Chains A and B, each alone.
Chain A
């Protein structure tokens, strides 16, 4: 996130709530994630008018409606490119993308590597509930094969993907994982992501009590283990090792990886400076290059 957008106001988490009522089912983990977002924004003193919240389509993609900010509700899978364009157009503003596992890794999967490797300066929070909720319960790229769902009545034929390994492999500069049942941890991770300069990715496990019958709160409580103390967050190999899960299949929660490298907008600004575009250039000189 742009540093320029931080520490501008002193507000309470509730001040970031919009006038739109939240539409998620009772018991959905997303309520907790949203509270964590409000809390992080308040703690960082983000001025709402300096924030662009952008999403695709899905239950989690409704998030921007509930946040007081500039926002875009775009197409299924396309929040990433739209947010990239918005960020490059206004590098001083903060950009927050929210979306689900289907939106981000199935239909939108082609965009994820490029936001990561280009180090687009924005925060991507992926609400990972292993299911398509808005279309009433189809299995997703993070569903376990045991899940009997709408289009997989006999269980799924696919292995689930590992979002953390994916993001680490493609060069995200901030990679963390949380669980909706641990709102304090989620708020810390989101805050860290928003403060980070570069592409920050937070994967948050969340139960879908309506459609995902096996990834319950209890399941996640048993699944997750906090990142061990002393983990070196600048060590890519160590982060990948954690992301691969331990021998018992536990998934890490906490900050896995954080490094700094130039962001896409910084690199583009450097090109503009290199060719003199920052101090005004006579367009006539460009036109004259076409004289015979």
Chain B
């Protein structure tokens, strides 16, 4: 990779400005026309604990968090201890010294060390909170972080709090610069120079899902707090009322999805967002939505499970639950996002599909995307199509579950004369009257299953990466796609014949597309962040492909090098 594809990791105690430092650096790079992809880990505790924020920046498109850091900025001894095994030859190490809470071991051969007395300087300025500003000043000098855009970002942030606070922070920033200037730069790492600014936004996966909900014409959202999905509700709660819609916080996840179902029945485009434990609670109501043919949309930001599991950690282990998690035969449409841009666009898609097919639609995101901020082309509202449900034309006698050619029956809003009907979880006839006859259940199941079948032909977000024959094809999903893209590109550059297949419509499964891809590959590797190999399972069950699973579940995403090494072993 080019040297201007740079990864800076800032680490320290939660609450001492790690996150804001990362945010400032990322925003400054984005303002300078560069791409960014950030990656964070948080402690599960409310205050304190180890926090890490990593910014990857490059003039070119970035697909993942990267292999490891090039630059480590350690705010304290714990940050050093956690990361010191990653201080490999060639990496740069900026650390709080002297005057900090630690003294590093002998600096390993080849590591470029830059001690900056961050705490000491902050103490001299009589404000511990300025420590991260000192660090940022030093980083900007050492690694060519654009000073103009960085100051713009600081002004934007602190300007609101008054001139005094702004000037104080800028002073601390200058001190940091002064401390770094005399140091002799021995490493090759520098942020790429500014290019023409691009029309981008910088947004996290969770905020992006909220923005997608607004762009998709959402009218009602019912929330229940759960890590790592709650930011979606916060975003929607802040902005949906501006567009006339409402968000309420329910007493539990069962109530959330129940309220969504009720509001949708009454004619409003509705959704909720949760994580695995919440999704488990919603299973019964999702079955009801399928049975009563009510559009509902749900975002599941997956986290480490089962049970309470690893609430703040990354995992992709809800695929089974998302597709089949309900009693009876009650599948639904399941989508999965690759990156933050997808979190916007596919939230719109998911809302549209729910309205079009009158069924539950689940959108799977994951813990690493939830908080990852990325540069995304600024969405233009005019570019999004909003699909509305098929409505009754008022002609003849209304039957809610009328058999139609495409299996989709027109809906009607309460208040409409002549449209009275029942939406029910009991098996029912076309009019909604309960019926437990064999032929009714068989016909109605065929209707409900049949209507979502065409999705595979009409909605094709799945991508094939590469052409012709390959020795190995990678099939993967979710944010692991971004890792696969880079691994495939680097392997190709090394001369390997590899391809990628990146499904985003998880159910119904586009079986023909899977088969067509696999026919061009000698072997199929399926990397995913769960123990059982859940996508591998569906591939074996639904296609003739014999995948080689590659699973990890350590709470972190794959790295490109990890995937490349595995490919080289088995190719």
Contact = CB atoms under 8 A, between A and B. Distances in A.
Interface of A: 20, 47-50, 52, 54, 64-65, 68-75, 78, 80-90, 92-93, 110-111, 113-114, 264, 268, 271-272, 274-278, 280-281, 283-284, 286-288, 290-292
B95 to A, nearest CB: 28
Contacts of B418: 49
A109 to B, nearest CB: 11
B82 interface: no
A92 B255 CA distance: 22
B492 to A, nearest CB: 32
A111 B255 contact: yes
A272 B211 contact: no
Interface string B250-279: 111011101111111111101000000000
Contact of A90 (B248, B266, B284, B285): B266
A86 B422 contact: no
Nearest to A118: B248
B242 interface: yes
Contacts of B202: 290-292
B425 interface: yes
B419 interface: yes
B420 A48 contact: yes
Of the candidates A52, A89, A280, the one having the most CB atoms from chain B within 10 angstroms of its own CB is A89
A150 B422 CA distance: 32
Given A49-B420, A72-B422, 14 more contacts: A49-B417, A52-B414, A71-B420, A71-B422, A82-B259, A82-B262, A85-B220, A85-B259, A85-B262, A272-B241, A272-B245, A281-B244, A286-B211, A292-B27
A110 B251 contact: yes
Given A50-B415, A78-B254, A276-B242, A292 B426 contact: no
Contact of B416 (A20, A49, A277): A49
Contacts of A74: 258, 261, 288, 425
B268 to A, nearest CB: 4
Contact of A72 (B239, B244, B265, B378): B265
Contacts of B68: none
Contacts of A286: 211, 214, 239, 242-243
B468 interface: no
Contact of A85 (B222, B243, B244, B375): B222
Interface in B401-432: 413-426
Interface string B209-225: 00100110001101000
A22 to B, nearest CB: 13
B421 A70 contact: yes
A277 B414 contact: no
A65 B422 CA distance: 8
B381 A268 contact: no
B215 to A, nearest CB: 7
B379 interface: yes
Contacts of A292: 26-28, 30-31, 153, 200-202, 375
A277 B240 CA distance: 8
Contacts of A20: 433
B207 interface: yes
A86 B265 CA distance: 7
A277 B381 contact: no
Contacts of B207: 290
B350 interface: no
B266 A86 contact: yes
A26 B290 CA distance: 35
B425 A73 contact: yes
Contacts of B261: 74, 82, 85
Interface in B360-409: 375, 378-379, 381
Contact of B215 (A69, A264, A272, A283): A283
5 contacts: A49-B417, A69-B420, A111-B251, A272-B246, A284-B381
A89 B263 contact: yes
Contact of B378 (A71, A274, A276, A287): A287
Nearest to B152: A292
B214 A72 contact: no
Contacts of A93: 266, 414-415
B203 interface: yes
Contacts of B417: 47, 49
A68 B434 CA distance: 16
Nearest to B416: A49
A83 B261 CA distance: 9
B258 A82 contact: yes
A114 B251 contact: yes
A81 B258 contact: yes
B27 A88 contact: no
A281 B243 contact: yes
Contacts of A50: 414-415
A81 B242 contact: no
Interface in B1-51: 26-28, 30-31
Contacts of B422: 64-65, 71-73
A81 B414 contact: no
Contacts of B421: 70-71
A287 B252 contact: no
A111 B265 CA distance: 19
B506 to A, nearest CB: 26
Of the candidates A83, A277, A281, the one having the most CB atoms from chain B within 10 angstroms of its own CB is A277
A193 to B, nearest CB: 20
A272 B238 CA distance: 10
A286 B425 CA distance: 39
B444 to A, nearest CB: 15
A89 B378 contact: no
Given A20-B433, A89-B220, A89-B268, A277 B420 contact: no
A246 B130 CA distance: 67
A81 B262 contact: yes
B414 A90 contact: yes
Contacts of B266: 52, 85-87, 89-90, 93
Contact of B413 (A90, A271, A287): A90
A110 B570 CA distance: 53
Contacts of B215: 283
Contacts of A264: 248
A50 B260 CA distance: 20
A50 B418 CA distance: 11
A80 B423 CA distance: 15
A282 to B, nearest CB: 9
Contacts of B375: 292
Nearest to B287: A75
A283 to B, nearest CB: 5
A5 B288 CA distance: 28
Of the candidates B26, B242, B262, the one having the most CB atoms from chain A within 10 angstroms of its own CB is B262
A150 B222 CA distance: 38
Report, nearest first, the 9 A-B pairs whose CB atoms are least far apart.
A85-B262, A81-B258, A85-B259, A89-B266, A85-B263, A82-B262, A86-B262, A290-B201, A292-B30
Contacts of A83: 262
B150 to A, nearest CB: 11
B419 A49 contact: yes
Contacts of A290: 201-203, 207, 211
Of the candidates A49, A84, A113, A292, the one having the most CB atoms from chain B within 10 angstroms of its own CB is A292
A85 B27 CA distance: 39
B262 A72 contact: yes
A78 B282 CA distance: 11
Given A85-B260, A93-B266, A292-B30, A277 B245 contact: yes
Of the candidates A20, A69, A70, the one having the most CB atoms from chain B within 10 angstroms of its own CB is A70
A63 B30 CA distance: 60
Contacts of A278: 244
